[in-house]
Structure 1
Amino acid sequence: MLEVEMSQLLQEIEALRQPMKELNDFIFDHPELGNEEFQAHKLLTNLLEKEGFTVDREVSGLKTAFRAVYYVNGGGPKIGLLCEYDALEGLGHACGHNLQGPSICTAAIALKRTLQAPCTLVVYGTPAEETASGKLVMAREGVFDDLDLAFMMHGSDTTTVDGKSLALNLVNIKFHGKSAHAAIAPEKGISALDAVLLFFNGMEYLREHVPTEVRMHGIITDGGKAANIVPDYACTQWYIRSSSRIRLDEIVERVKNVAQGAALQVGATMEWEEVKAYDNKVNVQTLNDILLKNAEKVGAPEISEPRKVTGSTDFSSVTFRVPGACLRVKFVGKGVTSHSQEWLDNGKSQLAEDAIMYGAKGIALSVEEILETPGLLEKIKEDFKQAKENF
């Protein structure tokens, strides 16, 4: 990458600092829950359309999802730039999603204005990350399948990139029995709660026979209405996770068998409801290295290696299909976790404003480097293919 090209790109990004601060502050001050992000959706799509992007304001039946496309020099490799903008119920933007739209749009606009290499920039608005997962719905419909690369940014307590993540199945397991008076005629009842308790016992035995990296944790969401009534309905919710989607699918079938066995023991019936399912993130080290190197180059604070222990993310529904990376940029104190008052308190801070810029710069420089370095995109794709085969 020529120094003059890098300088022009960074200048374009800095020129957008004030309007993007104002955009961030508005989204922060007007938090919207998943699939209700109408104000953020309108602001982001209007901004991109004004910059010459062709905008689809509804994607996969999601009214607050969007897709904005710009063909640079006739088009070429498709670069996906994803953002979230939903808030938390009762906590507002305590996960920092207010930062993402401004940062990703800054990167997209600056790239559109300065890139010499032909490419197709595609900005995706992905609603409801905290709840129903817009990315999951979009991924299942093949929305991201034709991308060559995908990028995201997120606030963090250090500047880093995502490493591996766990595949996830979130399920509700419902048991149906028969109610009866618990004192007068318990023999006429079938306790759905007994089935739940047997299921919990069965899960404890199953834990011994799954790989140590598997995580299975659940709660009872409905155990009956009164202690003197044999419960005819009970429900338990479980998160089942593994570092491999293939392995997780096998374990989920075993969990289903445990649930079915618990129901049979008491004469109840079992209903299995899948709430959502995330794939594991396929880690492309080459792409992560480029992204973190460029974040450090532009002065992003407190660079650190990817965290070793992680949970699950709906971005993995994208990165399981195409090479992708998420740049996490520091804007809170080290060790401060998301969904906290500290994250909320920093949502409009100078650190937040800087994080928007650092995220845009790190991603934009990485896109430019990949497109202008012969063979680099092909290497990333090959690394992705090999990493996926390892799962």
Structure 2
Amino acid sequence: MCEYDALPEIGHGCGHDLIGVISAGAAAALKTVLNGQGTIVVYGTPDEEVSCTKVQFLDEGVFDELDVALMLHPYKHTCTQISSMGIYPIQFEFFGKKCHANEAGPQCINALDAAVMSYVSINQIKQYLDANIHGIVKNGGVLPNIIPDYACLQYFIRCDAQWKTELAVQRVTRCVQGVADSMGVQMKATNFSAANTTFLNNGPLEDVLKANLDRLGEPVTVDPRDRISTDAANVSFRIPTLHGMIGIKGCEQMDLHTKEFADATVSPAGQNATRTGILALAGTAYDIWESASVLNRIRQAFCLGLEEERKKEEKYGFHKFSAE
């Protein structure tokens, strides 16, 4: 899987310029070895940051033909497994009644006031939720002398478990609805992009990557504080999926989504990480293709992971959400 979208004003601060090269390079290298045996498919999956193309591909059954899906993501150090945060994108639209500011009276219903009060209320309840909740005012009116009849908030709600996400979404939505009702404003809640699940890790698949990284002399770091959000997580619930991280030397203290990391991706260290990533990913794919027993272990782990997730759904009473 290739990603290649950049961030506004930052550039490739998440290293997607290298993801595309690593995936395409690994496929090209593997093709020379397989000599027409087996099938390699390289998918371009742009705009992971916003529209989440992989989720759209899943809806269309694009990945159903695969045994495994593979990718490596640039990072501050190399790791085969990383914790993930699911993302629920939610938009709250407020509909009031417009009027001139000089003539504001009981007939006016200020949609922006409802949005502002909702924003403040959400900030108050965040402390009681095991969730990462951040939002913006997407639309707050046109001119100061016009009472807005429309306003819009957009939020990302991130959690490390699906049941926590559903709980947070319910609490936040009830909070906003209460504000809207108290101010006489109509409120509409929708998804403004696709939701991402948490990632279903696959131990045997990660072990194959680890073996290839070891052969290349690439040190692997295990740090439970490392967490990402990605639409590849949705793919991991359809087929066994690898989302390893390849470190760029000198970036150990850098954060993703920064100009500094974007610059590092096109530095000599970024080029070295790309070469290592291509070799590791190609080697991983070859080992899976070459050994039926390895592929069977990967499939068994995948089925076991799905069953464990099903039990959690039954225990906590949630279901996989999707964008409207």
Question: Does TM-score exceed 0.5, indicating one fold?
Answer: yes
Match of residue 236, structure 1, among 143, 150, 153: 153
For residue 327 of structure 1, report the CA deviation from its aligned partner: 2.5
* Structure 2 residue aligned with 1:351: 269
Match of residue 133, structure 2, among 216, 234, 237: 216
Match of residue 207, structure 2, among 281, 286, 289: 289
Q: Deviations over 1:152-184 (max 9, x none)?
A: 112222111342311111122110111234554
> What runs of 5+ residues in structure 2 fail to find an aligned partner?
310-324
Question: Is 1:93 matched up with 2:12?
Answer: yes
Structure-2 separation of matches of 1:117 and 1:369: 16
* Structure 1 residue aligned with 2:230: 313
AA of the residue aligned to 1:362: A
Question: Is 1:165 matched up with 2:87?
Answer: no
Aligned pair in 2 of structure 1 residues 139, 246: CA closer, same or farther (>3 Å)? farther
For residue 108 of structure 1, report the CA deviation from its aligned partner: 1.2
For residue 343 of structure 1, report the CA deviation from its aligned partner: 2.5
AA of the residue aligned to 1:165: S
SS in 2 for 1:321: coil
Aligned pair in 2 of structure 1 residues 174, 331: CA closer, same or farther (>3 Å)? same
Aligned pair in 2 of structure 1 residues 130, 205: CA closer, same or farther (>3 Å)? closer
Structure-1 separation of matches of 2:225 and 2:38: 34
- Tell me if the contact between 1:176 and 1:270 (Cα under 8 Å) persists in the aligned partners: yes
* Structure 1 residue aligned with 2:40: 121
AA of the residue aligned to 1:314: D
Question: Is 1:342 matched up with 2:276?
Answer: no
Match of residue 97, structure 2, among 149, 155, 178: 178
Structure-2 separation of matches of 1:205 and 1:260: 15
Aligned pair in 2 of structure 1 residues 153, 221: CA closer, same or farther (>3 Å)? same
Q: Deviations over 1:303-338 (max 9, x none)?
A: 211553423112112112211112322224212123
Structure-2 separation of matches of 1:96 and 1:204: 31
SS in 1 for 2:151: strand
Q: Deviations over 1:310-369 (max 9, x none)?
A: 231121121122111123222242121233333333333322222222111111222222
AA of the residue aligned to 2:186: T
TM-score (norm 2): 0.84
Task: Name whichever of 314-323 and 92-101 sits farther off.
Answer: 92-101
Aligned pair in 2 of structure 1 residues 242, 389: CA closer, same or farther (>3 Å)? farther
- Tell me if the contact between 1:162 and 1:307 (Cα under 8 Å) persists in the aligned partners: no
Task: Name whichever of 285-294 and 261-270 sits farther off.
Answer: 285-294
Task: Name whichever of 194-203 and 380-389 sits farther off.
Answer: 194-203
Question: Is 1:373 matched up with 2:294?
Answer: no
Aligned pair in 2 of structure 1 residues 127, 208: CA closer, same or farther (>3 Å)? closer
* Structure 2 residue aligned with 1:105: 24
AA of the residue aligned to 2:52: S
- Tell me if the contact between 2:71 and 2:242 (Cα under 8 Å) persists in the aligned partners: yes
Structure-2 separation of matches of 1:120 and 1:313: 25
- Tell me if the contact between 1:175 and 1:233 (Cα under 8 Å) persists in the aligned partners: yes
> What runs of 5+ residues in structure 1 fail to find an aligned partner?
1-81
- Count how many residue pairs are aligned between Structure 1 and Structure 2: 307
Question: Is 1:267 matched up with 2:204?
Answer: no
Aligned pair in 2 of structure 1 residues 389, 254: CA closer, same or farther (>3 Å)? farther
SS in 1 for 2:156: strand
SS in 1 for 2:217: coil
TM-score (norm 1): 0.71
SS in 2 for 1:337: coil
Task: Name whichever of 220-229 and 169-178 sits farther off.
Answer: 220-229
For residues 24-39 of structure 1, what are the structure 2 equivalents within 5 Å? none
AA of the residue aligned to 2:122: M
Structure-2 separation of matches of 1:361 and 1:146: 24
Task: Name whichever of 371-380 and 270-279 sits farther off.
Answer: 371-380
- Tell me if the contact between 2:82 and 2:244 (Cα under 8 Å) persists in the aligned partners: no
Structure-2 separation of matches of 1:204 and 1:346: 35
- Tell me if the contact between 1:284 and 1:384 (Cα under 8 Å) persists in the aligned partners: yes
SS in 1 for 2:46: coil
Aligned pair in 2 of structure 1 residues 348, 240: CA closer, same or farther (>3 Å)? closer
SS in 2 for 1:160: coil
- Tell me if the contact between 2:80 and 2:220 (Cα under 8 Å) persists in the aligned partners: no
CA RMSD of aligned residues (A): 2.5
SS in 1 for 2:227: coil
Structure-2 separation of matches of 1:156 and 1:97: 11
AA of the residue aligned to 1:256: T
SS in 2 for 1:280: coil
Structure-1 separation of matches of 2:77 and 2:104: 61
Name the structure, 1 or 2, with higher relative contact order (CA <8 Å, separation 6+).
Answer: 2
AA of the residue aligned to 1:142: G
Structure-1 separation of matches of 2:104 and 2:120: 26
Match of residue 152, structure 1, among 68, 71, 75: 71
Aligned pair in 2 of structure 1 residues 131, 121: CA closer, same or farther (>3 Å)? same
Structure-2 separation of matches of 1:169 and 1:340: 23
For residue 247 of structure 1, report the CA deviation from its aligned partner: 4.6
AA of the residue aligned to 2:28: I
AA of the residue aligned to 1:219: I
AA of the residue aligned to 2:165: L
